[in-house]
Structure 1
Amino acid sequence: MRICVVSPFTGLAGDMLLAALVDAGAPADRIRAAVASSGLTGWDLRVESLLTHGLTAARALVAVTDDATSRSAAELIAMAGRVEPAPVAERAVAALRAIAEAEGRLHGEPPERVHLHELGGHDTLVDVIGVCAALHALDVSTVYCGALPLGTGTVRTAHGVLPCPAPATAALLAGARTVGSDLDGETVTPTAAALLKAVSARFEPPPEFRLLATGYGAGTRPLPDRPNVAVVYLGEPGDAGARTLVVLETNLDDVTGEVLGHVVGELLSAGALDAWISPVTMKKGRPAHVLHVLAEPEHAARLGDLVLAETGSLGLREYPVRRTALARETETVDVLGMPVRRKRGPHGAKPEHDDVVAAARELGLPARVVATIAAGR
């Protein structure tokens, strides 16, 4: 299994990511075959090479021969569900469902009734299925992504002029790492944001890996002072995903349970890889807790300051640890008509608890029954 590292130099769009993956070696014929298996007609995908600011990059162009410019989210999801092979369909459906849910929340409609305008044409379906097919063809199991630059100004949509990033994009980027940009207009599209969400992209430094290929995908907007490209790096992880991280610890005997729970949530929101609490007995027989934080070395100081500020502790321990993280991917399975995400690793699969609970409520079944079905046991 391989990893893919996305560097959104000037931003990210679905066609930029697709072009970059083709430039890195994804076979265009397999991508076209996957899109065709959805039943979409009246389109053609061409990937051409261009020179921009001294850099050769690939650009994905979709030629359309019919006049269907918008479709409902339900129609797009149904088409994506017919895609072969099945892993490509699962990721494509997850991306489109994410768009439908984001648009539905914004417009106060159920996701299945959302009608997509700019996102309902051929381009969206080709980009979504194409990227998922490219990742599958390249045997990519894990995607890492750098901080996404967010443009300023406005974007024109079917609903009028909206601020950048567009509301749907902002909703889809919840939890992602972002950074300000000096570029005007839309730098990250809803399609790109939904794809990153569907593949469970990690917004953290990648582990050590052997670089196999690099791909450059160009956007459609020319920039006066730099190439408008996204870069992907394809690699094989080394040392079975082992890497050096940092553990922060502090002993607490005067902090309430409410505060402890709050601090754990704040740490995870601030970028901690994990945070947990252990009960201990301190001097004079005092019951207490140890707060542990697992962090990237470059985030340790910031997270340590957060711990001290939130708990009032007067000290903090820090030491390096070696963590081995096995390759894993998130897929969506159907449980009696309800979608349930599950995380699959080399030794099995585990359903996402929140999805299991939601499905169990809808189906009127015990959560353990839904979990068993979703796990495939």
Structure 2
Amino acid sequence: MTICVITPFTGLAGDMLLAALVDAGAPLERVRAAVATSGLTGWELHVESLLTHGLTAARAQVAVTDDATSRPAAELIAMAGRVRPAPVADRAVAALRAITEAEGRLHGEPPEHVHLHELGGHDTLVDVIGVCAALDALQVSTVYCGALPLGSGAVRTAHGLLPCPAPATAALLRGARTAGSDLTGETVTPTAAAVLTAVGARFEPPPEFRLLATGYGAGTRTLPDRPNVAVVHLGEPVDTGHRELTVLETNLDDVTGELLGHVVGELLAAGALDAWVTPATMKKGRPAHVLHVLAEPAHATRLGALVLAGTGSLGFREYPVRRTALVRETETVDVLGVPVRRKRGPHGAKPEHDDVVAAARELGLPARVVATIAAGR
């Protein structure tokens, strides 16, 4: 489990974040390979080193043979959906859908009719897929981001001059921590804001972690008095017994018990840390169930989609939780010549139920007797 802490020193753009992740150790060839699986052609991605105000940083540049910047959003989403590995595709699609939905709301269009202007070029797709692939290669499970500095003034778009931050960026940053800046112009791009949304970035102090690597990603703008960079720190959380996780919940009054059991199994197989069902009484006295899913924050979007598809629910609740887990170890004990695994923690030991049942069947004893022997009681 690796965490990524983003410090947007002068702001954040997709190419800055991608460059910083490569500078921190993400393999550039893995990034290029992921982008290539989208079917996008006519592009090259280069990451070069430069010195800016005494600081060595990386700069990501996308060279294209097709300089069109206007495309239907659905076209970019379809290409992102073909990306491999699948977790990279999930995050890239989520980022592009976030952009599409924000643009659609701003311009009064349904998402399927949105046409991206400045964001419709090759570089948007390369940056989005590239960042998601870099995070996947680095095995980042959780992203934390500092307050994003918002510039002032105006930005030129296909719709004319618009205030900074651009309306799409402002819509995507709803709920994020921001701060004023003495810089004018666009300091946070819609691409960066959408990626932060897609990876479930947390705008809160990170937990204690052991620093593994630091990367500096430079933007294209040159500032007179400071380096124009975003910084990423990669680290291993220090094991304090606490872990920041996400819970998804949805109320269901029209799903059978058999189907709920199947969905729980599918969620666990898809990477949920736990999934369970509790009975509930809804309005008008209707009996119902609440489906709960405990997940890593980085997997919440994907598992939420599985909840909706598997149950037919129209929505779910999502909130952060802190789990405290005591140190435990798995050991194997001998029960009358049959091995049985058990988990041992600070306050006792518990045998694995499947092993107990198998041993009981082999020994011809009641399972409760085998469990008592295996537990050492």
**Structure 1 length as normaliser, TM-score?**
0.68
Contact 2:77–2:97 (Cα < 8 Å) also in 1 = yes
Correspondence for 1:17: 17
Correspondence for 1:36: 36
For residue 367 of structure 1, report the CA deviation from its aligned partner.
2.8
Q: In 1, distance between residues paired with 2:237 and 2:109?
A: 42
Correspondence for 1:259: none
Q: Do structure 1's residue 325 and structure 2's residue 208 form an aligned pair?
A: no
Correspondence for 2:103: 103
For residue 66 of structure 1, report the CA deviation from its aligned partner.
1.9
Equivalent residue pairs, number: 272
Structure 1 SS opposite 2:44: strand
For residue 325 of structure 1, report the CA deviation from its aligned partner.
2.0
Within 5 Å, give how 1:284-295 maps onto structure 2. Answer: none
User: Unaligned 5+ residue runs, structure 1?
Assistant: 243-323, 331-341, 372-377
| Amino acid of the structure 2 residue aligned with 1:93 | V
Q: Percent same amino acid at aligned positions?
A: 78
For residue 359 of structure 1, report the CA deviation from its aligned partner.
5.7
Q: In 2, distance between residues paired with 1:140 and 1:367?
A: 30
What do residues 136-161 of structure 1 show as CA deviations (whole Å, max 9, x unaligned)? Answer: 00000000000000000000001100
Within 5 Å, give how 1:1-377 maps onto structure 2. Answer: 1-239=1-239, 242=241, 324-326=242-244, 345-347=272-274, 349=293, 367=313
Q: In 1, distance between residues paired with 2:96 and 2:72?
A: 11
For residue 220 of structure 1, report the CA deviation from its aligned partner.
0.2
Contact 1:328–1:346 (Cα < 8 Å) also in 2 = no
What do residues 164-211 of structure 1 show as CA deviations (whole Å, max 9, x unaligned)? Answer: 000000000000000000000000000000000000000000000000
**Structure 2 length as normaliser, TM-score?**
0.68
For residue 346 of structure 1, report the CA deviation from its aligned partner.
3.5
Q: In 2, distance between residues paired with 1:123 and 1:10?
A: 21
| Amino acid of the structure 2 residue aligned with 1:187 | T
Contact 2:99–2:172 (Cα < 8 Å) also in 1 = yes
Contact 2:67–2:121 (Cα < 8 Å) also in 1 = no
Q: Structure 1 stretches (4+) deviating beyond 4 angstroms?
A: 326-330, 342-345, 348-352
Structure 2 SS opposite 1:118: coil
For residue 70 of structure 1, report the CA deviation from its aligned partner.
1.8
Structure 2 SS opposite 1:124: helix
User: Unaligned 5+ residue runs, structure 2?
Assistant: 249-266, 276-292, 295-299, 317-377
Q: In 1, distance between residues paired with 2:49 and 2:42?
A: 23
Distance verdict in 2 for CA 1:328–1:138, change over 3 Å? farther
For residue 326 of structure 1, report the CA deviation from its aligned partner.
4.6
Structure 1 SS opposite 2:119: helix
| Amino acid of the structure 2 residue aligned with 1:58 | A
What do residues 7-61 of structure 1 show as CA deviations (whole Å, max 9, x unaligned)? Answer: 0000000000000000000000000000000000000000000000000000000
For residue 329 of structure 1, report the CA deviation from its aligned partner.
11
Distance verdict in 2 for CA 1:329–1:194, change over 3 Å? farther
Instruction: Pick the structure with greater CA Rg.
Output: 2
For residue 328 of structure 1, report the CA deviation from its aligned partner.
6.2
CA RMSD of aligned residues (A): 2.6
